[in-house]
Amino acid sequence: MRRLLMTALAGILLAAPASASPSPDTEALETLIAESAETATEHAALGRYYRSRAALARANADQQERMGRSFLYVSGNAGQQRHQQTRRA
C-alpha cells in the first residue's frame, strides 16, 4: 500500500508543471515524497525532478539577467545603471 501511495505521489509531482517558485502545497508534497523514497527507482525519479527544477531556475535567472541588462541602456536611466553596477559588485 505504501509503495502504491509513493508511486501515485511521485507521478503527481512529476506530472505537475515545474515553476521557478513552487507553491507551499508543492513544497509540502516534495518534502513528503523525498522523506518516503526508499528504492533506487524512487530516488532516481527524485533526482530527475530536481535536475529539471534546477534547469528551469537557471533559465529563469538567465532571462531575468538579460532583461536587467536591456533595461540599463534605456536613455536617461543613469540611476538604474549605477544601482545595477553596485548590486553586482
- Of 1, 53, 45, the closest CA to residue 22 belongs to 53
In this structure, of 10-14, 69-73, 79-83, the range with the lowest mean pLDDT score is 10-14
pLDDT digits (tens, 9 = 90+) for 23-55: 777 788 788 888 888 889 888 888 898 899 899
Distance in angstroms (rounded) separating the CA atoms of residues 37 and 79: 50
How many percent of the chain have pLDDT more than 70? 61
Q: What is the pLDDT at residue 6? A: 62
Question: DSSP readout, 7-64?
Answer: HHHHHHHHHSPP-SS--HHHHHHHHHHHHH--SHHHHHHHHHHHHHHHHHHHHHHHHH
Q: What is the dihedral of CA 68, 19, 59, 88, to 10 degrees?
A: 40
